[in-house]
Structure 1
Amino acid sequence: MNKNLILIYLILILTLNFSCLDKKSTSKRINQLELKATSRADTLKFTSGIRAIFQDSKGNYWFGSLKEGVAVYNGESFNYFTINEGLTDNQILSIQEDKKGVIWFNTQQGVCSYDGEKIVNYTKADFEKPQVNLPVQENEALQSQWMKTDKDLWFGAWIKEGVYRYDGQKLIYLAFPPHKVLNHSDNLFAVTDISKGKKNIIWFGTYAGVFGYDGSDFKIINDESLGYDRAIAPLHIRSILEDSKGRLWIGNNGIGVLLKDGDSIINFSDKNNLIHPTSGRKGDKSMPGTLEHVFIMTEDSKGNIWFGDRDAGIWKYDGVKMTNYTKKDGLTNDTALSIFEDDKGELWFGMKDGKVYKFNGKTFERQY
């Protein structure tokens, strides 16, 4: 073979080999970058229940626990806050964000905020004075402070019969208006849940009744207005939701879900045969396939109503039928303490064992 042809042939072979090597090397680097971008460098370390899930305006996810404080996930790692960092308590009841981007926590012992640098406590020193059974003059003075704007953040006041309102400048305590009390016992009208509704109304669910406030007047729903005998089937409200159709859902610990649609109120659980015939309706552990102890409710962007039952898993109501999700659908336990839809329309579920799931449309996928 001609020496020149042999030389050209060798050069071509070497060129092809180096080209293949370079392609393999480039492919490896891309794969490594993709792996780094999609893998989590950290995972949520909570083992107690997830009481609250929230996504802030920067896209960070916040997780409030039952006993271990709060954690924030920035897409790569978690950062934790407890009483050691300034929280008033390690049990987180709710998480919100104000118009300035400050994150607010309602804990079992007080309201505090985090501006990205420090935690500020607003209630420990200023609001520990009990506000129930006040003198008439002082009660009337507190009533005159009731008002609402679009900037407000609202917080339950734990064992006190009222709420805290943050108007963007200050946080004040507001006592509920005088109301008829049936078989009163301690903490009967302590707030358990809050829901903003249509027609400028905000609903406050308490153990023994519901207060609706529209900026000027109150609506009160209690045993008497519902025709319930507390000795037989007591109200024990744990969750409340006004949906996009203006219907008010009232979740109880024992008697299931009440549904107020206009002037009519029905027991939604009873109507759908979701209360067991042997149920005592007073908080006893319920059977599978029931909806008797409803601790959390939300409506997704498609109009589905979601319920978290204490004993019987997660339920979805699509307006026609009820669907029950339990451990058979990928969950590690049957108690959801929080349900949250993020800005992508993805549904997150916080469970009592500290696990966090997302719903893929059919089953639940463990996230943390």
Structure 2
Amino acid sequence: MKVKLHRQYRLNFYYIFLIVLIISCNNQNQSNKSKPTESEIGSTKLKFTSGVRSILEDSKGNIWFGSYNEGVCLLNNGKLQYFTTENGLSHNQVRNIYEDKNGIIWFECGRGLSTYNGKELTTYKERNYNSKNEWQVNESDLWFKGDEIKGYNKLEKYPGVYQYDGQKLSYRVFPVTPKPEDGFKYYISTPYVKSKNGTIWFGMYGAVIGYNGSNFKIIDNEYLGLNGPTGFLHIRNIMEDSKGNLWIGNNGNGVLKYDGKKVINFTAQQKLKKEDTKGNSLERVFSIGEDTSGNIWFGTVGSGVWRYNGNSVKNFAKDDGLASRHIWTIYKSKQGELWFGGASPSGVYLFNGISFQRKY
């Protein structure tokens, strides 16, 4: 009898030991699943899926990333913080990001404007419509597109731009007479450019308008002699290089270069149309940038990135580490790096001299 009881005790102890061991292993597995992997710890990879449309490195060292339709993200001390319309953003498409002279961050959204004062993000609602023709140029002004995604609101009425002088946001009307067939010709489609000679340039889908403090310069289809067979302007980016040339990127008509006197079609000049290359082309250009060596870079849809060194043009695509097929923006960091913000898939890429690597 005592032998049987002893055996029973041993069996019970064995079963209990197995149960404890199984529970312990399960808990360990669950614990491992809840812990981030080594690659996830300290990761600064953006979770955007719609694309990185705008970038700003502010005066405090923070980096802001605007998305196509998922709001904006702040990178601060290695941590990512996301903001959407639920947090005070006027719209989840963030086209451009600027910092004013007081350190306030401005977000030019698909609809409206928002600001960040270091603590909170709010929609900026104040507007002045009483001085639409009082154009002026000040050194620290910021300029923004109209409030609507398409067209003009009842107070804007006509094509124009908002000017912020540090105190007041005022609407200025462009010296153009829209026609019913113009469609979105005068809707602003690019960040503004401050030229070295003092001219402010505004890129619209169908025109580029410059203002130097006294006169306007208008580059449009009529000025260029464009028509149906040649293809019309569809401007997606403008950039002034270190030599004072204004580069105009089009979705379909390639790159134009304006030296202050004449405009040339750079894409046609370099024989980089589809009919010439039979592959990747320089026709659908959405972003332009210049690196510290003076090379001009062009971001495209479907044809990777192109680099112009003053003599020849070189193409970089998926085989060179550039996974994104749509490069929305090219941004120069304070360290002089060029960051390429893209979509399909989303990400921010850095060129290391040989190939591209994802940075954010």
What residue is the counterpart of 2:5 in the other structure?
Answer: none
Q: Letter of the aligned partner of 1:239 in structure 2?
A: N
Give 2:354's match in structure 1, choosing from 337, 362, 365.
Answer: 362
Q: Does 1:293 align with 2:290?
A: no
For the residue of structure 1 that corresponds to 2:132, the secondary structure is: helix
Quick check: 2:184–2:206 contact (8 Å CA) kept in 1? no
What residue is the counterpart of 1:104 in the other structure?
Answer: 106
Distance of 1:230 and 1:57 partners within structure 2: 46
Give 1:113's match in structure 2, choosing from 87, 112, 115.
Answer: 115
Distance of 2:230 and 2:311 partners within structure 1: 30
What residue is the counterpart of 1:168 in the other structure?
Answer: 166
What residue is the counterpart of 2:142 in the other structure?
Answer: 153
| C-alpha distance 233-172 of structure 1, shift in aligned 2 (>3 A) | same
Q: Does 1:338 align with 2:329?
A: yes
Distance of 1:334 and 1:120 partners within structure 2: 33
Matches within 5 A, 1:65-144: 65-123=67-125, 126=127, 142-143=132-133
Q: CA deviation at 1:126?
A: 4.7
Distance of 1:270 and 1:71 partners within structure 2: 38
Q: Letter of the aligned partner of 1:346 in structure 2?
A: E
What residue is the counterpart of 2:181 in the other structure?
Answer: 184
Q: Give TM-score scaled by structure 1 length.
A: 0.79
Q: Does 1:322 align with 2:313?
A: yes
For the residue of structure 2 that corresponds to 1:142, the secondary structure is: coil
Distance of 1:321 and 1:75 partners within structure 2: 40
| C-alpha distance 43-275 of structure 1, shift in aligned 2 (>3 A) | closer
For the residue of structure 1 that corresponds to 2:182, the secondary structure is: coil
Quick check: 1:54–1:63 contact (8 Å CA) kept in 2? yes
For the residue of structure 2 that corresponds to 1:169, the secondary structure is: coil
What residue is the counterpart of 2:239 in the other structure?
Answer: 241
Quick check: 1:287–1:311 contact (8 Å CA) kept in 2? no
Give 1:308's match in structure 2, choosing from 288, 291, 299.
Answer: 299
Q: Which runs of 4+ in 1 moved over 3 A?
A: none
Q: CA deviation at 1:318?
A: 1.2
Q: Does 1:205 align with 2:207?
A: no
Distance of 2:356 and 2:124 partners within structure 1: 38
| C-alpha distance 346-42 of structure 1, shift in aligned 2 (>3 A) | closer
What residue is the counterpart of 1:55 in the other structure?
Answer: 57
Quick check: 1:314–1:335 contact (8 Å CA) kept in 2? no
Deviations 1:237-279 (A, max 9, x none): 111112111111111111101111232211100011111228x
Q: CA deviation at 1:184?
A: 2.7
| C-alpha distance 118-81 of structure 1, shift in aligned 2 (>3 A) | same
| C-alpha distance 221-117 of structure 1, shift in aligned 2 (>3 A) | same
Distance of 1:162 and 1:357 partners within structure 2: 34
After the TM superposition, which of the residue ranges 224-233 and 293-302 deviates more from structure 2? 224-233
What residue is the counterpart of 2:16 in the other structure?
Answer: none
Quick check: 2:127–2:168 contact (8 Å CA) kept in 1? no
Distance of 1:106 and 1:227 partners within structure 2: 32
Distance of 1:40 and 1:242 partners within structure 2: 36
Distance of 1:271 and 1:174 partners within structure 2: 36
Distance of 1:180 and 1:53 partners within structure 2: 32
Q: CA deviation at 1:41?
A: 4.9
Q: Letter of the aligned partner of 2:240 in structure 1?
A: E
Q: Letter of the aligned partner of 1:192 in structure 2?
A: S
For the residue of structure 1 that corresponds to 2:223, the secondary structure is: helix
Q: Give TM-score scaled by structure 2 length.
A: 0.81
Distance of 2:278 and 2:72 partners within structure 1: 32
Distance of 2:251 and 2:57 partners within structure 1: 28
For the residue of structure 1 that corresponds to 2:323, the secondary structure is: coil
Quick check: 2:291–2:337 contact (8 Å CA) kept in 1? no
Q: CA deviation at 1:349?
A: 1.1
Deviations 1:122-152 (A, max 9, x none): 24x758xxx9xxxxxx8xx511x21111110
Count of residues in correspondence between the two structures: 311
RMSD of aligned alpha carbons:
2.3
